[in-house]
Chains A and B, each alone.
Chain A
Amino acid sequence: MRQEFTLTIFSENRVGILNQITTVFTRRHINIESLTTSESAIEGIHKFTIVIYSTREEVDLLVRQVEKRIDVLKAYSFSQDEIIYQEIALYKVPTAALFEGNEIEKLVRQYGARILEMTAEYAVIEKTGHKHETQELFDKLDPYGVTQFTRSGRVAINKLKKEPLNSYLRKLVKNGVNPDVKIDTQ
């Protein structure tokens, strides 16, 4: 069954690592729906969060093919119900629109959004949530003239009780950041 999967990938922070990871998806003609990357809790280790549509069988293969890249430390896949995730969206609207009735203010309250900044010309509204929620707010705000809209990739935390990676990462810290030192994962 094709469904949404969130992959979290930990890698060395090396030039070209993103290309190394994405070619695994490209070869199989899999579209990346969303991608977020940033340094992880460990200095020098990068974390990628990638959302794709696929089947469980295919995702299992993809994870192993990503892990096969020398500079990738670990890769995991999660179905939607195995993670807590969040995205952030920003909306720029003309300030004048806020003064034409109180519709925008109502929407901000109703959707748990907040106004980040307001100038004489424009206001920036921020909302965190799942894609369908940020999209819904966009659809509601658009009639008032959204001049810019942007949505981030996904950040996610898994619901696993055991954290195998955590102890692994701790060992990395203990052993310093030299990538040519073997870490016993057993």
Chain B
Amino acid sequence: MDKQTNTLMEESKKKPVTMTGAQAVMESLVNEGVEILFGYPGGAIMPVYDALYSYKEKLNHILVRHEQGAVHAAQGYARATGRVGVSLVTSGPAATNAVTGIADAMIDSTPVVVISGQVGSALLGTDAFQETDVVGITQPVTKWNYQITRADEIPWAFARAFYIARSGRPGPVLLDITKDAQFGSLEYLYKPTVSIRSYTPYPIIDPGQVEEAARLINLAKKPLALIGQGVVIAGAEAELKEFLEKTGIPAAQTLLGLSALPSDHKLNVGGLGMHGNYGPNLKTNECDLIIGIGMRFDDRVTADTRRYATNAKIIHMDIDPAEINKIIHADAPILGNVKDSLPMLTSRVSNNEHEEWLEEFRACYRIEYERLIERELYPEKPELTMAEVVRRVSEAFNDDAIMVTDVGQHQMVAWRYFKFRQSRSVITSGGLGTMGFGLPAAIGAKLGRPDRPVCLFVGDGGFQMTIQELGTIYQSKVPVKIVLLNNNFLGMVRQWQELFFDHRYASTELINPDFQTISKGYYIPSVEVTKRDDLDKAIKKMVSAEGPFLLEVVVEKEGNVFPMVPAGASVEDIILE
């Protein structure tokens, strides 16, 4: 950063400083503690990029290869660090490319701020070159969005954007800045937003609701806690553990709730939902109490809601009033931040143990192990399974890497067989199920947490949706470990075709390129494994590599992910094979 810029910053803390809108964007980002941006330049955002040139030392800009990747990378950064991820894109096609990432961040409650350039305000609505109504387009998939048409709105809009993105239930915010607002000048003075009168991010917890929930917990004989990402977002992992250990209640996790509780915790009974573990699904309808903690009863968790938790009272703890009674009626809702409500609940419940009930989950696990897990992890057939690869990789990282996945069969398998010791170790596209999420998200995660290994599992389908981000990995030297589980199929769709569409494999077989040659083209070291005997050595090579590495494993062509709750069925109809 040059001297002039430094002086500007110091002065702006005390009294207004005259600067351009583009400079004010930089200053606002610095004021919000931003250190890294993921972006792609273009016409309508050029003044901001020009300002960025003077802020190279304060703001690390990662040049991606596609704007969708810019947002996914910001999401990966946000999910790994808990901080707001930032993307910078131009107008028109760039902004529309960003929409998939924004929608993904919305449904998975990820704090990101996307800054898009816009044509000059005089041209708005005239179908100008690269003009698109990005505020209109992103309205349903942003927590808030705003079009800045005057330079003097910038500090206010940025303060608001960051406050809204990170507070309460986090989400994406889009700021669309017209080119004249970037060029214009203003008297810059930054005041962080501390409240908005029309927005209540942290509802005040009603002690009566906590009291009622505690009463239900103290009466319950067969309770089950469902852990969602809300626990991770709130940073309430310790509070969760205290609550569970005092009550002895078994806990199962949603897709995004995984890693809130260590894999080997004695009360951790596994994963929920369509490809979750046998016990948590099967036992749901035996439960007399379900405690949803920072989760939203997604349809992939509940399956048929009319036949869900049929014998149970429901406690639903969530920060978002719109989630209460949305899918499942709550007998005892607790509205509020689980970081605060969990300790209130813990102080009101009795010490308890549910040893016999826990034993039932262990028995379910033994059945699942004997009938399914064992042959997935230690197959007798020559073909490699996804599960054995995932488990070997997990072990090679001492079960303590950040696991990023793409979407599909490999995602479910990675989620089932990877192990975790600490929170914020699962980064995957849950609600939107965005193929192509994995590679850019892994880049963001690694840049956010350079101290932790980041391991991406990706399928051959999703890999090719954002494969150009290998260029970002090369240019920015991001040491991401990529495990490509290649079955030359769009495996999850093929599995459904096999099970529900009479083996009619319509457009699911992929005639793939040579991924080794592609990797070589991007100067990323790689190894291809086709035989079990070569697997461990290749994994070792990947783990010990200094920089990025691509491990391609050719796995069985027509493997299926089990257990499975078939679409439209009840959780208790879960099948093991």
Contact = CB atoms under 8 A, between A and B. Distances in A.
A37 to B, nearest CB: 16
Given A19-B136, A23-B140, A65 B196 contact: no
Interface in A16-40: 16, 19-20, 23, 27
Interface residues of A, number: 28
A186 B193 CA distance: 21
A180 B146 CA distance: 15
Nearest to B194: A182
Interface in A169-185: 172, 175, 179-183, 185
B196 A27 contact: no
A67 B321 contact: yes
Contacts, number: 57
A68 B322 contact: yes
Nearest to A68: B322
A180 B204 contact: no
A61 interface: yes
B195 interface: yes
A179 B197 contact: yes
Given A20-B139, A23-B140, A12 B325 contact: no
Contacts of B194: 182
Contact of B199 (A64, A65, A70): A70
Contact of A71 (B147, B193, B198, B325): B198
Which residue, B199, B320, B326, has most C-beta atoms of chain A within 10 A?
Answer: B199
A157 to B, nearest CB: 22
A11 B322 contact: no
A12 B322 contact: no
Contacts of A65: 322
A90 interface: no
B365 interface: no
Contacts of B139: 16, 19-20, 23
Contact of B198 (A11, A15, A19, A61): A11
A183 B195 CA distance: 9
A60 B325 contact: yes
A16 B135 contact: yes
B416 interface: no
B143 A172 contact: no
B144 interface: yes
B310 to A, nearest CB: 19
A73 interface: yes
Interface of A: 11-12, 15-16, 19-20, 23, 27, 57, 60-61, 64-65, 67-68, 70-73, 172, 175, 179-183, 185-186
Closest 3 CB pairs of A and B: A182-B195, A64-B322, A70-B144
Interface of B: 135-136, 139-140, 143-144, 147, 156, 160, 164, 193-200, 204, 320-322, 324-326
26 contacts: A15-B147, A16-B139, A19-B139, A20-B139, A61-B322, A64-B322, A65-B322, A67-B322, A68-B321, A68-B322, A70-B143, A70-B144, A70-B164, A70-B196, A70-B199, A72-B198, A73-B197, A172-B197, A175-B197, A179-B197, A180-B193, A181-B195, A182-B197, A183-B197, A185-B200, A186-B204
Given A64-B324, A182-B196, A185-B200, 15 more contacts: A19-B136, A20-B139, A60-B325, A61-B326, A64-B322, A68-B322, A70-B143, A70-B196, A71-B144, A72-B198, A179-B197, A180-B156, A180-B160, A180-B196, A183-B197
